[in-house]
A and B are shown apart, each in its own frame.
Chain A
Amino acid sequence: MRIGQLSRSELAGRLARGGLSLATGPVTTRIRTSIPGVAAHLAALYADFPLGEADGIADFSCQLRPPRGVRRYYRPQVLFLADGRSVFKPLAYHQAGPMLEWGMNWCIASQLRDRLIFHAAALERGGRALLLAAPPGSGKSTLCAALACRGWRLLTDEAALVELGAGRVSVAGTARPVSLKNASIEAVQRLAPEAALSAPCRDTLKGTVAHMRPPPESVRRAQEPAAPAWLVFPRFVPGAPTRLTERSRPEAFMGLAANAFNYAALGRRAFHRTADLVERVACYDFRYSRLEEAVQVFDELATRREPSAVPGAGEPGYHGRPHGPGVDGAAAGGAGERAARHPVAPGR
């Protein structure tokens, strides 16, 4: 059964009773809330996603509710609780939808230790996966949304999951809605007027935020991983010409590891799995400002039979600062950050 098959009142009822289990590809989240904004958000963006078994196991258990206290009567807010513990500062009540998205991202980034998780968007075409690894603000989600509207299968716009066990290297994702901010909302609408976007949510910490409903085909195949073929470090530079340049594998390794959420927590296994992945892909830096041209570049890349080889690295010697325990701090944030920064640091 899919979310879209529930009437709005059934959906709200299940959410209120804590019986809504949302299956997003490889992970399942149980959500409890009485906030109508969450039901509306799910109805608008998650209609194609299946429900998990009502009494089955969920990876994460979440609740959204207003903070207790008198403030709820004159300026209501919303909290996100994972396993009963609030993980973020409260947001304004009308931001419950984005709060759910950020909360689910937090769960994946900080609670999964059985696979390697990269802060990267991932898409698939012809059985081959493209990874877009970059910190927030680099235009990764915009590019991801554009490609998902132009025939690429969306794996994730936020967290690429890579199994640690032996066997072939594959990338999976939850196929959840793509998060768009400010100017990128309009850029995606211009490129793909048919894209289904949620009503923009204003005045969040990131400005105006809207989510793009994932293509039904991506949702249907969300359980299906893909073999990585390209690793790209995108950067949106206003006015810049579109440019795809090769990056050496060691440099790509350092860049990818710096964008892992749980590299420090997994140690040598993360190191080897990251190397396994980088060994198998063609690595590039990508600068762009025009979305239409950017999409063309990736379409061309996908039609090439073999990813081109990347020549050896440049200057010999030691490259700058060690890539140390700080790695996943940048991505994981806050209390999770200290735990993630070093395995011997205070955690939760």
Chain B
Amino acid sequence: MQERLPEPAARHLWGGYLAAERNAEAVRWELEQLDGGLLGRLSPPVALKGAAYLLAGLPNAAGRVCHDIDLLFPADEVGRAESLLFFEGWQASPHDAHDQRYYRQWMHELPPLVHRRRGATLDLHHNLLPETFAVRVEPRRVLDAAAPLAAPWRLRVPAPEHLALHAAVHLFAETEWQRGLRDLYDIHALVEHFQAARGDRFWEELLDEAEALGVAWLVEPALACGRTLLGTRVPAAAAERLERHGPPRWRRGPMRALFRHGLNTRASRTPRRDALARAALLLRGHWLKMPPTLLARHLLYKAFRAPQGARAGGGETPTHRHG
């Protein structure tokens, strides 16, 4: 590949590969530490997203950078997991009382834990979607179907259909789409991989499970975007079944355009439309996440009462550190 690419482009890709390789190594080690530590007192947790792709050796793990580690616990164990991990150096990142309440009462995960010495971040989940989400997903189904990994791992990974569903649900219920293209590629690589490994049976299981969990309406646009942008192959029978879960015809065009612009990177030719789409997706994501009264309270708080630091946008840094 490097022979055909212009050198500057090949260099950036190689740099990306090196950083991803290093990231995978660090994630694997953090997972080993977690697996061999105090979490051994609880039932084996399920690794989600990047950690799961890495441990299961799935094709989308190559070149992928995980920014945090996600673990799923039964709801009655997640609090104990947090207390145990404290003794291994994992501390809740500073959040004000509002954010703490927001996470603990309404979300599907605890406020992120940060390792005191290494700065790595860890999310402890007790569900795949927030408690207040438009549909309630039963996490038991994911925990019960999770597959063990080869010894000596205690950690488990979700069943194939849950891996693909979580990727789709995660992106298409999301408020922030800046890593949308990566997330769409996850969906694409997972369904193609499992289709190759298990054939059409995989699609049946995927759609059965999507319907059982009540998230087929999020899977439909995910695969539609995958088909358009990445050429994801969806068997005819599955496509037909998905069709029934799509939005009504009059909303289909605008919704597709919304997702397509939301998936554009910052280097796109339509920056204004993309920005508009990102704003709309942010609202849509919050709308799906919370009942309207709670949403209004949360947004009002964020706009007027949040401390300055919490509101300062988009990771801007003071210039004086780059002299």
Contact = CB atoms under 8 A, between A and B. Distances in A.
A206 B322 CA distance: 11
Interface string A110-127: 001111000000000000
Contacts of A346: 67-68, 112, 121
A84 B22 contact: no
Contacts, number: 145
A69 to B, nearest CB: 13
A344 B69 contact: yes
B76 interface: no
Contact of B317 (A57, A335, A342, A344): A335
A88 B22 contact: no
Which of B16, B66, B68, B316 has the most chain A CB atoms closer than 10 A to its own CB?
A: B316
Given A59-B8, A345-B119, A334 B321 contact: yes
Given A57-B9, A106-B322, A344-B67, A334 B316 contact: yes
B1 to A, nearest CB: 14
B314 interface: yes
Interface string B102-134: 000000000010110111110000000000000
A102 interface: yes
B197 to A, nearest CB: 28
A85 interface: yes
Interface stretch (A189-197, A242-250, A261-269, A287-295): A261-269
Interface stretch (B25-33, B207-215, B229-237, B297-305): B25-33
Contact of A342 (B14, B119, B322): B119
Interface stretch (A40-48, A212-220, A224-232, A323-331): A323-331
B310 interface: no
Interface size class of A (residues with CB under 8 A): 35 or more
A114 B14 CA distance: 6
Contacts of A22: none
Nearest to B271: A84
Given A88-B319, A344-B120, A57 B66 contact: no
Contacts of A319: none
Nearest to A336: B317
A344 B26 contact: yes
Interface residues of B, number: 45
A87 B121 contact: no
B319 A89 contact: yes
A332 B112 CA distance: 23
A345 B121 contact: yes
Nearest to B27: A344
B26 A342 contact: yes
Contacts of A206: 320, 323
A341 B314 CA distance: 18
A265 B22 contact: yes
A276 interface: no
Contacts of B145: none
Contacts of A341: 119
Contacts of A88: 316-319, 322
A109 B315 CA distance: 16
B109 to A, nearest CB: 14
A275 interface: no
A113 to B, nearest CB: 3
B178 interface: yes
A88 B15 CA distance: 24
Interface of B: 6, 8-9, 11-12, 14-16, 18-19, 21-23, 25-27, 30, 65-69, 112, 114-115, 117-121, 178, 265-267, 271, 314-323
Given A179-B323, A342-B118, A348-B178, 8 more contacts: A86-B316, A88-B317, A109-B322, A266-B18, A333-B322, A334-B317, A344-B27, A345-B121
10 contacts: A89-B316, A113-B12, A113-B18, A181-B323, A206-B320, A267-B21, A333-B321, A344-B66, A344-B120, A345-B120
User: Would you list the 4 A-B pairs with minimal beta carbon distance, nearest first?
Assistant: A334-B317, A335-B315, A113-B15, A114-B15
